[in-house]
Amino acid sequence: MIIRLARCVFMLAVLGLLAAGVATAEARSEPFFPRSGTDAYNVRHYGVDLAYRPANGSIVAKTKIEAAARQRLRRFSLDLVGLRVTAVSVDGAAAEYNRGRGKLKITPPTPIAQHAAFTVVVEYRGRPRRITDPDGSSEGWNPTPDGAVAVGEPVGTAAWLPCNNTPADKASFDIRLTVPARLRAVSNGRLRGVQLLGSRRRYEWRERKPMATYLALIDIGKGKLLYGKTDGLPAWTLVDPAQARQSQRVLAKLGEIVRFESGLFGPYPFEALGSVVDDVPLEYALETQTRPIYAFVPDLTTVVHETAHQWFGDSVSLKRWPNIWLNEGFATWTEWYYAERHGGRSAAQTFHRLYRVPASNTAFWDPPSGHPGQAKNLFATSTYVRGAMALEALRLKIGTKPMLRVLRRWATRYRDGNADIGQFIELAEEVSGQRLGALFQRWLWARGKPPIAG
Ligand SMILES: [Zn+2]
């Protein structure tokens, strides 16, 4: 079914028939996480007020959600895993609510009209959970020796935020975090202010640009919150004291990396940047918007990768999770191209070396990057490596200049929005003036090692 759906998108794109209506209908079906998110409304803004209590690792929070109804709403739901909800109001009036599996179901006192703007306030508390993904990795709320880290790819943000948990519904965020004064608290965007409230401190973060819920970050812990300018933009960085010395050199490269990638893909898409390094048992780095988080001392390649995601994934976001190639293939290809332009191996050399992997190594070649098939394959090796090879195969076919023009136009045309693979192919054909259906068919959708000719 997934395969047919993907090929269907592909055929429509090749025929130039990917009309907006088709794309929208397609965007609203989420095969990997069908219980997450809804198309009944769009969120415009999340205003989060969250106090963290280290004694028992609990939170007390109040979130205000400003949304617009896409249809008449007699009831609607938000994604929320665990925690105890103590009050819900809609447009200032108390609303009835109950809980379902991963859902907060709300019945407003009067139905909300189609297209009407409405405001929901949810008050909740408790100990937020760690969430185990289909591939066995952890996300959600993760306690650390000195605080906690909240990360949400693909669905973990519902562990601490009642939200419309789909990358198709992006919104601006205000995240206010109150923590004991000895701790720091970091989130996305700009730091608007820090207030001392007795023995506690409140940090007010604001991300004005649209952000997918999975890219929201909370990091609470010890360390120095460093402020400076990076490539002319305000940057905030928090590194766990145990990792500070070792991280310093690579994090100092961020400005140069942003300049390099801006030169390729167009202006940096956000108003702030920075880094977070924390001692949290996650074993991955994540491109949390404006400020990636590293669960270990990162190397240069990892910072190049997470920074590339600010364009590919964060600014231009997925509509549906099976399109993950648009994130990981692009960020991995950027690693290769960065190396090429900095005295390392060329991306073509990397491509040809990897192409020697025999077809019998199916774990390397499958699943094909354009359709991971199941949620547990979202972050399979092939999503990254075969995914980057697909882009290098495109470059080998159309040439370096057209290739870079495709990437830049992709980042520009869909900036602050959402797009899908069909739209990428359409753009690549538009820029190159070539028919690329057969190439993408081989590299994105056919199982097994793609033949190189053609
Ligand atoms: Zn990545």
119, 121, 41: which is closest to 88 by C-alpha?
121
User: Is the per-residue pLDDT at 23 higher than 60?
Assistant: no
For a pLDDT cut of 90, what percent of the chain falls above it? 92
- Tokens (6 digits) for 71: 């249809």
Cα(163) to centroid(ligand 1), Å: 23
CA 307 – ligand 1 centroid, Å: 9
Task: Give the pLDDT of residue 325.
Answer: 98
**Is there a contact between 148 and 52 (Cβ–Cβ < 8 Å)?**
yes
- Three-class SS of residue 417? strand
Q: pTM for the complete prediction?
A: 0.93
Of the listed ranges 6-10, 36-40, 369-373, 393-397, the least confidently predicted one is: 6-10
Supply 254's token pair: 């961020």
Report the alpha-carbon distance of residue 57 to residue 77 in Å, rounded: 27
Mean of the pLDDT values across residues 33-48? 97
Contact 439, 394 (CB under 8 A): yes
List of residues 6+ apart from 55 with CB closer than 8 A: none
Q: Average of pLDDT values for 352-376?
A: 97
Residue 82 Cα to ligand 1 midpoint, Å, equals 28
CA angle 408, 409, 411 (to 5 degrees): 65
Centroid of ligand 1 to alpha carbon of 214 (angstroms): 13
Ligand 1 centroid from CA 305, angstroms: 6
Using an 8 Å Cβ cutoff, are 224 and 274 in contact? no
Statement: residue 12 has pLDDT above 60: no
Mean pLDDT of 163-170: 98
Q: Which of 21-25, 119-123, 167-171, 282-286 has the lowest mean pLDDT?
A: 21-25
**Separation of CA 286 and ligand 1 centre (Å):** 7
In order of 4, 25, 115, 411, the CA distances from 22 in angstroms are 15, 5, 21, 22
**Cβ distance 390 to 449 under 8 Å?**
no
333 CA to centre of ligand 1 in angstroms: 11
Burial grade of 395 (CB within 10 A; 0-12, 13-18, 19 or more): buried
Residue 259 belongs to what H/E stretch? Answer: helix 254-265
Question: With 60 as the cut, is the pLDDT of residue 454 above it?
Answer: no
CA angle 8, 442, 12 (to 5 degrees): 20
b/e per residue 279-308 (b: at least 16 CB within 10 A): bbebebbbbbbbbbbbbbbbebbbbbbbbb
What pLDDT, on the 0 to 100 scale, is given for residue 453?
Answer: 65
Note residues around ion ligand 1 (Cβ under 5 angstroms).
Answer: 328, 331
Q: How many CA atoms lie within 13 A of 38 on its CB side?
A: 23
| Cα 125 from Cα 58, distance rounded (Å) | 7
Q: Could you tell me the pLDDT band of residue 3, with boundaries at 50, 70 and 90?
A: very low
CA of 453 to the centre of ligand 1 (A): 28
Mean pLDDT calculated for residue range 313-339: 98
Q: Compute φ and ψ for 199, nearest 5 degrees.
A: -90, 5
Distance 327 CA to ligand 1 centre (A): 6
* Rounded distance from Cα 171 to ligand 1 centre (Å): 21
* CA–CA dist 118, 342 (Å, integer): 51
With contact defined as beta carbons under 8 Å apart, do 331 and 284 qualify? no
CA of 62 to the centre of ligand 1 (A): 31
